[in-house]
Structure 1
């Protein structure tokens, strides 16, 4: 799978951009602030309907515009799909595939799959639990798109339940009776989300251990994953045991329901839901200790890189290669980590790389080169590309 053509309109700093793409590595080169990351951020938006840099859509729309548009031609085996997303802050976004509107934007999820590695990914090791929960759930949806509905429904129920808890302390009768209904929704959806997270961690953990060993080199501590949950059955943070049978969604829902009942008084007193997947954490272990708070700067970079390489390996093993996006990371890595990342990147069907200077990128990845400057993304002369032909064949609907 690869993107053959990308267009954006009023997206971030770009009034418009029109870029033909090819399989293999493509390096977008330009000074900081020229819009390189904005272009790969647009690609990521097609995969996740979100940004790796901001939590809302509003900053994605160019100042003075009311809407941003991302369009792409996606090649998968012998098929080509045309995808268009209209980003409308404050209003419903709209998505079309092959010019046909989708009833819900989230139905796009899973059609475009990417794995992004960016400087922000250091937060996977050093940041708050919310960063790791978001990582887990984004990977879940990329792997199993139907879980986007489960996650969305869980978030909606959680918001409603929290609103009810804020009033329950003053109006106990009817409010508490209604709370029982929301408890049922929360625990059913929460059980599904917990089961999916645990299965994902169990599948991902061996890839993380292997990737970290390759990145960090001989003698490095072993990397492992664990899950720390507000529901004891789901995990206490210890490294996952591959031999351990995982609890199912129904079993986890029952355990979550019991735990919610135990914490009911505390929740009413505090006006917030204290139990559920939204309170949990992915625990990264390095040797005998958790990586957060114990890993050095270099070890943290190695772990963040290993996690993303593991994601790529897992998705590759289950189907087509995802598009690998490397956003301004080679300048941050030493020679050993660069080599490990380059080895995977050169094997991917398509890799999109951003860099301030081309010399930061290993020579084996210098395929198509795009100069990004002064509001223009231009393929450098002599670089392999199917430029005008791709533009004509893509026929990306300009609306």
Structure 2
């Protein structure tokens, strides 16, 4: 799979841009703030319908514009599809596939599959549970697009239910108990239904991802402890032990419904929803200790890289070689980790890289190099292309790539040093 054409209009710092790409390595080089990351972000948005940097769409729209437009033509095994997205600063977004409008933007999910490595990845280990939930949901959106619809429905119901809970206590004191309880019953039923679908899809992905993460971490840090991941539901261990997938939805729905009944009084008192996939977490463990709070800086980076490397293998196992994007990540890694990551990604069908300084990129990474600059002579700063050249490097042609875990075992077989040290 690769992106052949990318066109932007009023997307962040790019008033307009057109790129014709190929199944090869393309490196975008430019100083920080020049708009390199915006290019990768726009493609990641096509793949997941969300930014990896912000939680709302408004910042994606160039200042002074009402709508940002992203168009990407994706070729996969000889089949070509073009996704057109209109991202609104406020209001609903619109989408089209091969110029034909679709009812829901989520219908474009699955056309482009991509894995993005970024400096923000450290938050997967050290950040809040919301970062890890986002990571899992991004994989669900790419591998099970229909489940992404359940997540959107769940979020809508959660907002409505949470708004009711904030006023429920006062309303009941005014004698409106029956009205509040009846309305809560309706929202609880929908929350349990959509929540079960979201949780089942997440569990299925985590079950597939877990062994890949363990192998990836052992390859990056062979002298460190065993790395494991597990899903932890706010509804309790009865959900955690589920295998996930469609067959488990009814059982999970029953557990969620029961927990909502048990916690109703407490939720009304606090005015918040205390159970559901919005409260779940992806548990990361090194040895017998949680990675968050116990892992060194080196171990944390190795775990974050392992999650992304495992994501690539997961998508490949699903039959598609994803577009791999490295957003200024080489600058965050020591020399050895740079070399290991470069070795793993050199066989990708399409590799897109950003770097502020060309020297941050390992010498083995060659390909097309596009220089990004800015202009400020007429209105707000705008990004533009200032150079385009081919750079030689030592790389492996796509058709000679080893598959999945075999590739990693050969590419990442050298020790990384003592992972217990920062």
TM-score (norm 2): 0.86
Question: In structure 2, what is the equivalent of residue 3 of structure 1?
Answer: 3
Residues in 1 aligned to 2:188 and 2:135: alpha-carbon distance in whole angstroms: 26
Q: How does 1:1-399 map to 2 (within 5 A)?
A: 1-169=1-169, 170=171, 171-216=176-221, 218-234=222-238, 248-374=248-374, 375-378=383-386, 380-382=388-390
Higher RCO structure, 1 or 2 (CA under 8 Å, sep 6+): 1
Residues in 2 aligned to 1:77 and 1:378: alpha-carbon distance in whole angstroms: 32
Q: Is contact 1:214-1:340 (8 Å) kept? A: no
Residues in 2 aligned to 1:245 and 1:175: alpha-carbon distance in whole angstroms: 35
Residues in 2 aligned to 1:77 and 1:187: alpha-carbon distance in whole angstroms: 39
Q: Is contact 2:370-2:389 (8 Å) kept? A: no
Residues in 2 aligned to 1:141 and 1:19: alpha-carbon distance in whole angstroms: 26
Residues in 2 aligned to 1:48 and 1:382: alpha-carbon distance in whole angstroms: 30
**Change in CA separation of 1:4 and 1:383 when aligned onto 2, cut-off 3 Å:** farther
**Change in CA separation of 1:71 and 1:267 when aligned onto 2, cut-off 3 Å:** same
1:331 Cα offset (Å): 1.1
Residues in 2 aligned to 1:66 and 1:186: alpha-carbon distance in whole angstroms: 33
Q: Using the TM superposition, name which of 354-363 and 202-211 deviates more.
A: 354-363
Question: In structure 2, what is the equivalent of residue 395 of structure 1?
Answer: none
1:245 Cα offset (Å): 5.3
Report the RMSD for the aligned CA atoms in angstroms: 1.6
Residues in 2 aligned to 1:369 and 1:52: alpha-carbon distance in whole angstroms: 24
Q: Is contact 1:36-1:354 (8 Å) kept? A: yes
Q: Is contact 1:158-1:186 (8 Å) kept? A: yes
Q: Using the TM superposition, name which of 4-13 and 339-348 deviates more.
A: 339-348
Q: Secondary structure at the match of 2:82?
A: strand
CA deviation profile, 1:290-339 (whole Å, cap 9, x unmatched): 00000111111111011000001100111111111100010111122212
1:377 Cα offset (Å): 2.1
Any stretches of 5+ residues in structure 1 without a counterpart?
385-399
Any stretches of 5+ residues in structure 2 without a counterpart?
375-382, 393-422
Q: Is contact 2:203-2:243 (8 Å) kept? A: no
1:378 Cα offset (Å): 4.8
Q: Is contact 1:140-1:196 (8 Å) kept? A: yes
CA deviation profile, 1:141-192 (whole Å, cap 9, x unmatched): 1110001111011111111111222232223111101211211111111112
Q: Is contact 1:226-1:235 (8 Å) kept? A: no
Q: Secondary structure at the match of 1:111?
A: coil
**Change in CA separation of 1:323 and 1:381 when aligned onto 2, cut-off 3 Å:** closer
**Change in CA separation of 1:132 and 1:100 when aligned onto 2, cut-off 3 Å:** same
1:382 Cα offset (Å): 4.5
**Change in CA separation of 1:69 and 1:18 when aligned onto 2, cut-off 3 Å:** same
CA deviation profile, 1:52-93 (whole Å, cap 9, x unmatched): 111111111111112111112211111222221111121221
Aligned residue pairs, count: 377
1:26 Cα offset (Å): 0.8
Residues in 2 aligned to 1:267 and 1:20: alpha-carbon distance in whole angstroms: 53
Residues in 2 aligned to 1:37 and 1:301: alpha-carbon distance in whole angstroms: 20
Residues in 1 aligned to 2:143 and 2:42: alpha-carbon distance in whole angstroms: 20
Residues in 1 aligned to 2:363 and 2:26: alpha-carbon distance in whole angstroms: 12
**Change in CA separation of 1:235 and 1:341 when aligned onto 2, cut-off 3 Å:** farther
Q: Secondary structure at the match of 2:140?
A: helix
